[in-house]
Amino acid sequence: MDLTYSAAEEAFRAEARAWLEANVPKDLPPLDSAEGFPLHVAWEKQLFANRWAVVSWPKAYGGREASVIEWLIFEEEYYRAGGPQRATQNGIFLLAPTLFEFGTQEQQDRILPKLAAAEELWCQGWSEPGAGSDLASLSARAERVDGGFRLYGQKTWATRGSFSHKLFGLFRSEPGSQRHKGLSYLLVDLHQDGVTVRPIDKLDGGEGFAEIFFDGAFVPDADVLGGVGKGWEVAMATTGSERGLTLRSPGRFLATATRLIELCRSQPEAAGERLRDRVADAWMQAEAYRVFTLESVTRIVEGRAVGADSSLMKVHWSELDVALHETALELLGASAELAPGAPASADRGRWIEGYQFALAGPIYAGTNEIQRNIIAERILGLPRK
Amino acid sequence: MRFAFSEDQLLIQQTLAEMLEKECSHEAVEAAAKSASGRVPGLWQQLVAMGIPAVALPEAQGGLGGDELDLVLLLQEAGRRALPEPLAETAAVAAPLLRELGGELAAEWLPRIAEGAVVVVGLASEPFVGFADGAELLILERGGELFALAPSAVKCEAQRSVDDARRIARVEWSASPAARIASGERAAALAAAAFERSALAAAAQLVGLGRYMVDLTVAYAKGREQFGQAIGAFQAVKHQIASAHLKLEFARAIVQHAAYTLAKGWDSRQLDVSTAKALAGDAAHLCGRAALQCHGAIGYTYEYHLHLWLKRAWALEKAFGDAPWHRRRAAALLLDGRAPSEAAPQAPARDPARLRGRRAP
């Protein structure tokens, strides 16, 4: 056991910190708004131009070939500096790991640089009106035609779908197939005939979701990822990325816990013993996530499997995020309801805004109920039926 | 950066686990609970023969020169088997205290611990002392000073614990100058370190107790059938056990982390130990509740052995600061930059990111 950072890692931290402190934009309007979106994309382009967008990637694609420990350090520094939620997150954290594992050289060379540079934004096409937690019941279909597939059906809850150029998702490519069989993982151009994107506003009013209708949109053979009919295996191989540390590294929760401590210090009269205990507990849960992640990362570095442990992480970080925000709102008392833009709002409504975002955590990336099933069945070995 | 144990550390853990599986079965713990001594006959001698109590003794005194990190996995195993032997008290608390104290007392007693002597520490903050009756040396704290007393110089008033396989006593004694071994800042530092080690040792055992209760419940839920299927297939059962496992896994990691920072003497160690004790106590409590609920009536009987694990967890949850106490201490460290018992702060509150401390002082 060695929980110290090497001189090279400390130097990496110092370089990241200096650049982020000098460059992180302050007070951007929300990402999921017509006004805020282009500003967030501009920030992503600035990150990419300075090789901070995808630090762990190969240099040829704009990365720094940083180790996974250095990537964790970057994440800590990014959120410590107050960096905004990543507009490119679906591409860099969800699609890219799958592309690195299953993509052909041609696909990687063609897709990854534009994805990292925020020239092409990607959304996820998993859920359908009839297929949420029970994803394998999906029915959107891909019909075989010359040189590719034509798509029919509907996807929904595509995060930032109305701002995206492309979609990655699962489609039923074998007629009459059932459940996990006969699915293909397809990369779809949304800017073509046969695609209709309808925005759906989220709980907080932001234009964050979309439902997407397909009526004959075309996907060439070159945009099948991992082979026709292999979609389920390809998608599941990297669900750990979504549930675990790549999508939600400890850095963002550590930064939120630090803000919570600052809020509590600034409101000593509001913080009775019970609330102080809750602040301490929220910090402890964030710290536990940091430490658990160090253990998982060690296993990754040493080539040992993390497996279903990503389900433990997903439940932990999503419940932690809610607890951090609920504690902050309790400290704010009657001011907690003030939305961004209210003249009397402290912290520009960041806590109530963050709370609404945190409440999505136990639902997306596989609900926490589904995760508990996975923990019970795949880790503990309890019977499925 | 590497969060993993060495092959040697894992090998000793495995060796101990295999020995305890045979020698400290639940039948053995049940028998201990019904016996006068509360212990498993011959087991301590076997542990001594394996060198377990000597892990954290200096090599010159017959030990392995280990530290908290070398002990933490062994204490988890002790908890997992509800071991009714003074491993935490002697190996994880008294031996390091004597090592730090040095001098004649250490020179005399450290080799004796390696040979099986039981030495216990009674801190002023704790009303009862585990394994006091039968100890060959007692190191006791009073008025900011430490004293070393022979068993003939103290009176142990045995207290019946809810856990029948646990032996605790209230120790009555008088503080004579001849028995004093440390005073002033030195005594305070030794006692403070003993408290952190005691809290960490309890946390490690709680992790083991929780692990056993979850594993036992998984096995039961796979075998017990109702409505024509294993009860473990019902989501209401699955989710309780999954939630317990989840809390326990994060507690395990944070306990091992605290063992590291305590061994290295990091600035953050008080905060880390408090985090460990609070999360381990809460996790073991949840594991116990889930285990009892998912077992149903059989788990509520004295005949079935779950109750011994449940009660050991209740006892250790409260010993050396319960979860609310440790959260209060953590809150003071995080928000005020000092422990609650310390004098008014002179320096401004510390940066929590820095408190998380990655550097040794």
pLDDT digit string (tens) for B67-77?
999 999 999 99
Structure tokens at A311: 């389900």
Q: Do residues B121 and B201 touch, judged by C-beta distance below 8 A?
A: no
User: Residue B126 CB: number of other CB atoms within 10 A?
Assistant: 16
A135 with A194, same domain? yes
A105 touches B at CB < 8 Å: no
pLDDT band of residue A168 (cuts 50, 70, 90) is very high
pLDDT digit string (tens) for B28-52?
999 999 999 999 999 999 999 999 9
Contact call for B238 and A373, based on CB within 8 A: yes
DSSP state of B121: E
A83 with A48, same domain? yes
Q: What average pLDDT does chain B have?
A: 94
In this structure, is residue A222 part of a structural domain? yes
Closest CA to A28 of A112, A78, A85: A85
Q: How far apart are CA B96 and CA B103, in angstroms?
A: 13
pLDDT digit string (tens) for A213-241?
999 999 999 999 999 999 999 998 877 66
A364 with A272, same domain? yes
A26 with A134, same domain? no
- Least CA distance to B228: which residue of chain A? A385
Q: How far apart are CA A135 and CA A128, in angstroms?
A: 8
C-alpha dist (Å) from residue A194 to A16, A142, A151, A218, B127: 44, 13, 8, 8, 76
User: Residue A295 CB: number of other CB atoms within 10 A?
Assistant: 19
Domain count, chain A: 3
Lowest pLDDT segment from A47-56, A164-173, A219-228, A243-252? A243-252
Share of chain B above pLDDT 70, in %: 94
* Residue A147's CATH number: 2.40.110.10
A52 with A162, same domain? no
Residue B350, pLDDT score: 41
Contact call for A281 and B334, based on CB within 8 A: no
In this structure, is residue A304 part of a structural domain? yes
Nearest CB partner across the interface for B1, out of A2, A309, A373: A2
Chain A residues whose beta carbon lies within 8 Å of the beta carbon of residue B261? 3
> Residue ranges of the domains in chain B?
194-356
A262 with A180, same domain? no
Q: What average pLDDT score do residues B87-99 get?
A: 98
Higher per-residue confidence, A94 vs B290: B290
A289 with A361, same domain? yes
Contact call for A287 and B356, based on CB within 8 A: yes
Residue B355 reports pLDDT greater than 70: no
- Global pTM value: 0.95
Query: What residues of A act catalytically?
Result: 242
Q: How far apart are CA A54 and CA B322, in angstroms?
A: 44
In the block, which residue shows the tokens 């309780």? B240
Q: Which residues pair with A141 in a beta bridge?
A: A152, A172
**Which pairing describes strands A195-200 and A166-172: parallel, antiparallel, or unpaired?**
unpaired
| CATH 1.20.140.10 fits domain B194-356 | yes
A39 with A74, same domain? yes
Lowest pLDDT segment from A27-31, A72-76, A257-261? A27-31
Best mutation target, B73, B213, B229, B250, to test chain A (most A CBs within 10 A): B250
How close B8 gets to chain A, by Cα (Å)?
12
- Least CA distance to A276: which residue of chain B? B331
B230 touches A at CB < 8 Å: yes
Residue B343 reports pLDDT greater than 60: no
Structure tokens at B77: 């195993």
In this structure, is residue A352 part of a structural domain? yes
Residue B361, pLDDT score: 31
A312 touches B at CB < 8 Å: yes
In this structure, is residue A98 part of a structural domain? no
Q: What angle do CA B187, B107, B84 make, to 5 degrees?
A: 75
In this structure, is residue A103 part of a structural domain? no
In the block, which residue shows the tokens 């908890």? B79
Residue B357, pLDDT score: 39
Structure tokens at B233: 């297939």
Q: What average pLDDT does chain A have?
A: 94
A180 with A290, same domain? no
Structure tokens at B276: 């460990």
Structure tokens at B206: 């709680």
- Alpha-helix residue ranges (DSSP H) falling in chain A: 7-23, 37-49, 68-80, 89, 96-102, 105-116, 231-237, 239-243, 250-266, 273-301, 309-332, 350-358, 368-374
pLDDT band of residue A303 (cuts 50, 70, 90) is confident
How close A296 gets to chain B, by Cα (Å)?
8
Closest CA to B252 of A189, A83, A232, A288: A288
Lowest pLDDT segment from A299-313, B22-36, B173-187, B281-295? A299-313
- Least CA distance to B352: which residue of chain A? A258
Contact call for B253 and A291, based on CB within 8 A: yes
User: Residue A119 CB: number of other CB atoms within 10 A?
Assistant: 13
Look up the domain containing A39 and give its range: 7-87
Chain A residues whose beta carbon lies within 8 Å of the beta carbon of residue B349? 265
A5 touches B at CB < 8 Å: yes
Task: Name residues 313-352 of chain A within 8 A of B (Cβ).
Answer: 315-316
Q: Tally A–B CB contacts below 8 A.
A: 154
Nearest CB partner across the interface for A295, out of B3, B221, B251: B3
Half-sphere exposure in the Cβ direction for A182 (13 Å, CA): 16
Residue B359, pLDDT score: 35
pLDDT digit string (tens) for B127-165?
999 999 999 999 999 999 999 999 999 999 999 999 999
Last residue of one domain, picked from the residues A166, A199, A231: A231
A252 with A200, same domain? no
* Residue A305's CATH number: 1.20.140.10
A226 with A252, same domain? no
A211 with A323, same domain? no
**Which pairing describes strands B137-142 and B119-122: parallel, antiparallel, or unpaired?**
parallel
